[in-house]
Amino acid sequence: MSLFTCPFCGSRNLEEFSFHKTLPNVAGGAFEEIYLRRDAPSHSDEHWQHRYGCRAWLRVQRNPSSGEVFAVELLTGTKP
């Protein structure tokens, strides 16, 4: 049980969010993205959905070892 702040909804139970996948971090196509990516234990760039809340898609950058969240970007409804 933890809290996470959705940029739209505010403080919510972490369980409402669903991890989808990490962003590609290596140049190339599908093969490179799946088999040749490099993941660092201290930094992960991820796509989450607030599935059991407002269903917004988020880009979450965090430290997967400690759980510390560096940045949360709201993707749904915003212009790039």
Partner 1 sequence: MSLSACEWVDFDGGDANSDLALAIAPARWLVVAPQEAWLAERTQAALAGLGALIDVSGRWVPVEIAPDSPALSAAAPLELYLRDRDVAALWMFDCPVLIVRCNGEIRLLVEASYAHSLRAMLARL
Partner 2 sequence: MSAKLRTGRRITGETFAFYFDGQRYCAQRGDTAASALAAAGVRAFGRSIKYRRLRGLLALGPEEPNALLTVGEPPACLPNVPAPVVRVTPGMRLYSQNRWPSLRVDAGSLLRLGAGFWGAGFYYKTFMWPSWKFYEGLIRRLAGLGAAPAESKLPQSKVLHLDADVIIAGAGAAGLRAALDAARSGQRVILCEREPVIGGELSFETASIDGVAALHWVQRASEELGHLGARIMTDTAVISARGNVVIAHKQPAGLPGADTLLRLYAPMLVNAMGAVERPIAFIDNDLPGIMLAGAAERLISDYGVCVGKRIVLFGNHDRLYRTAIRLRQGGVNVKAIIDTRALTASASRAILLAAGVECLQAYTIVRAEGGGAVRAVQIAPIKKATAVRRVDCDSVLVSGGWSPAVRAAAPSDWHSVCGAAAGELALAAIAGASDDDGEPQLEAYWRSPCATADEKNQFVDMQNDVTVADLRQALAEGFCDIEHVKRYTTLGIGTEQGATGGMLGAAIVAELSGSALAAIGTSRARGPYQPVPMGVLSGSRVGAGLRPERRTALHEEHAKAGAVLELMAGWMRPRYYQGNGADAFAAGIVEAARVRKQGGICDGSTLGKLEIAGADAPAFLDRLYLNSASAIETGRARYAALLREDGIVLDDGLLLRQAADRFTATTSSSHGAHVLSHLEFYRDTEWRGRRIAISDVTECWSVLIVAGPASRTALTAVLGRAWNEPLLNLRHMAFVERTWSAAAGVGAKLRLLRASFSGELAYELHCHPDIACPLWQALVAAGLAPFGLEALDILRVEKGYLTGAELNGLTTPMDAGLGAMLKAGADGLTRNSVGRALLGREGYLAADRPILVGLRAADGKSQFLGGAQVTTTTTATQSLGYITSSVFSPALQEWIGLALIARNCSAAGNELIARDPLRGGNTRVRIVPPAHLDPEGQRIKA
First CA to last CA distance, the chain: 32
Smallest gap from residue 40 Cβ to partner 2 (A): 22
Q: Which of 13, 18, 42, 65 binds partner 1 (CB under 8 A)?
A: 13
Partner interacting with residue 8 (select from partner 1, partner 2, none; CB below 5-8 Å by kind): partner 1
E strands, 1-80, in order: 3-6, 10-13, 18-22, 44-49, 57-62, 69-74
Assign 32 to helix, strand or coil. Answer: helix
Residue 29 within binding range of partner 1, rule CB under 8 A: no
Residue 46 within binding range of partner 2, rule CB under 8 A: no
Q: How far apart are CA 3 and CA 38, in angstroms?
A: 29
Binding site for partner 2 (CB under 8 A): 1-3, 11, 13-14, 18, 20, 29-30, 47, 49, 51, 55-57, 67, 75-80
